[in-house]
Amino acid sequence: MKNTLLILNICVTLFLVSCNRNATEKTTTTPIPDAPNIEVKITDLALNKDLVCGMLVEEGGIADTASHENKMYGFCSTECKAEFVKDPQMYLAQQ
């Protein structure tokens, strides 16, 4: 009988600790909202695709832009723009 109570006590303790950990994670984590799309005309861009991921960009669907050698490039996300800015020549050579 003692063994059964001990096992039950351990299971309840693990359950409570697990629930508390999940509640803490939920309250300390906030989702990052998507970047708002910016108003850019496709004709203002050097290309109509995101050079990092290859996705086609459309008016109303451009999250960010970057300029390089007097040309503007559109990106589907701020993450793709950040990658492009690190090494623009690499992405331009792959086009």
CA distance 6 to 52: 57
Q: What is the pLDDT of residues 11-51, one digit of tens each?
A: 555 555 444 444 444 444 444 445 567 788 888 999 999 99
Average pLDDT over residues 55-69: 91
Whether the pLDDT of residue 9 is over 80: the answer is: no
Q: How does the average pLDDT of the chain come out, rounded?
A: 76
Whether the pLDDT of residue 94 is over 60: the answer is: yes
Lowest mean pLDDT among 21-25, 77-81, 88-92: 21-25
Q: To which residue do tokens 């086609």 refer? A: 56
Model confidence, pTM: 0.61
Selected residue with higher pLDDT from 48 and 7? 48
pLDDT at 35: 53
CA distance 71 to 94: 16
